[in-house]
Structure 1
Amino acid sequence: MLQFINSYPATVQVTIMWFTPPCDDGNWTKKGWWVIPTGHSAVAHGGDLEDINRFWCYFASGWDGNSFWRGPIIRSVPLSAFEWCEWRGGTSSIEIGYKQVDVGDSDDVIIEFKARS
């Protein structure tokens, strides 16, 4: 299970990417958006993570425009709900940077968003 907990003082939106060969445009699928109000959580994937792959990616942004949880893996995503292969994009897409997480042999991972201190 991949779960996100929002302890940040604003709503957070999240997209994930996971290994799914062969996808039409690459070997990964990206999906979003989960909108998580402060104090709430969302399960983005309900199965055993390591059964699929040890590497998972996510990007999140606070609706206040002040915080981003990102990494160096640049992909295009739309602003509305989607499920696309990794290299698919559109004229209204934006580029974001996914952060990669090595889940090792864990079935479940919980990622918590917090304000930076």
Structure 2
Amino acid sequence: MEIRFRNNYPATVSVAVMFYSPGTCGQHGNWGTRGWWNIAPGQMAHVLNTENRFMCYYAEAGDGARWVGNFGPMYVYRNSFDSCLNLGSTAAIGRVGTRQVDTGGKNTIVNLNP
């Protein structure tokens, strides 16, 4: 399944995702983490292919708006990253909660709305 994000917010939004990946992250929490996709207003980005119907995301806009939730938390970094849920490092700038998405097993577009 393809996961895409559409930015319906009036500022550029940066997105990080958390996805089930026991083959890669089995010893580190079973969930992979990746970021960042910078998506301009009105634009869309393909961020992930997954076979699992659940994935999570965190997003933040340059004006301070954030899309957070109760899942995770996951470590985030200032620069692009590709890691596992329980692999933190001194390079992390923090830990954030994520929102869960149930794709229902279908290609999904997540809309980032104001």
TM-score w.r.t. the length of structure 2 is 0.88
2:39 matched to 1:36?
yes
2:95 matched to 1:95?
yes
When the two chains are superposed, the root-mean-square deviation of aligned CA atoms in Å is 1.2
Contact 2:31 / 2:85 at 8 angstroms: preserved in 1? yes
AA at the equivalent of 1:16: V
User: Any runs of at least 4 consecutive aligned residues in structure 1 with deviations exceeding 2 A, and if so which?
Assistant: none
Identical residues among aligned pairs (%) = 38
**Residue matched to 2:109:** 110
**Residue matched to 1:9:** 10
SS at match of 1:84: strand
Gaps of 5+ in 2: none
Q: Aligned partners of 1:54 and 1:39: how far apart in 2?
A: 26
Aligned length: 109
Q: Aligned partners of 2:75 and 2:105: how far apart in 1?
A: 29
Gaps of 5+ in 1: none
TM-score w.r.t. the length of structure 1 is 0.86
Q: Aligned partners of 2:54 and 2:86: how far apart in 1?
A: 18
